[in-house]
Amino acid sequence: MDGHLPKSVAIIMDGNGRWAQARGYGRTRGHREGAKRVDEIVTECCELGIPYLTLYAFSTENWGRPPYEVSMLMRLLVQHLRTMDKKLIRNRVRLLAQGSLERLPYFARVELKRVMRTTAIPEPKCHLNLSLSYGARQELVDAARRLAEKVRDGELDPEQITEGMLRDHLYQPMVPDPDLVIRTAGEFRMSNFLLWQIAYSELYVTDTVWPDFGVEAFHQALDAFGRRERRYGLTSQQQCLGPVYARAGFVRSADSTARTPLEL
């Protein structure tokens, strides 16, 4: 495999319906086939040593789909959780979830919590972060509300709010910003996914629909990532002069751990 590997990968899994339609199947068949790819890609991340994988499984906008399809997706989620927990434990994968999880049906929340609790092991090889009932705009609204509550209660002055503080109030602040975002099925849009976290992510779009996105296709995406130069707003020459110690666009000041803007 060419180049270096990302530490954190996010995937917009698109094309289940199109895969099924092209073969004359119902959409349910496409979603079931797509679930198989989840197992394969999670296993491959473990094999390669990629410690964080975030999957866009169900968006806030997906609630607007026909009720029968939403119901089927929730049942499929529970079925998959019931069969994947032992494999996650065997591969030392910890399951996380992010989104407006309270909107999920009760039976889905119960199963999700069970698997997250069962896989909460020390020093996992990989963290699998499922984005369920997830919308990036709502995530930012929720983070802003929590900060506003602290200001209201006198715990925080508005002037004290920093980029890092806002990030700490996102759904899963422990998950690093994705180095690589993969979107299947050829669509060139982010679809309300990780809008804060992807500020400096590398994007990879493939025409391959998700049910056909196997290990070989994943390796192609990783190879493309490994050949890219990540400059974070700097020039290539500046990148060679020394490390950037904080998130993209910032360096640590000499007298504190606070982030200060780079003078470009």
CA distances from 206 to 63, 66, 73, 184, 210 (A): 26, 27, 24, 5, 10
Residue 62 catalytic? yes
Q: Cα(184)–Cα(210) distance, rounded to whole angstroms?
A: 6
Give 50's Cβ-side CA count (13 Å radius): 23
**Which among 56, 57, 54, 25 is positioned nearest to 42, based on CA atoms?**
54
- In the set 16, 39, 62, 177, the catalytic residue is 62
Q: Cα(240)–Cα(120) distance, rounded to whole angstroms?
A: 39
Q: What are phi and psi of 135, to 5 degrees?
A: -145, 130
Q: Cα(64)–Cα(245) distance, rounded to whole angstroms?
A: 42
- Ranges of H-type helices in 52-160: 67-90, 106-118, 136-152
- In the set 14, 85, 177, 179, the catalytic residue is 14
Residues with active-site annotation? 14, 62
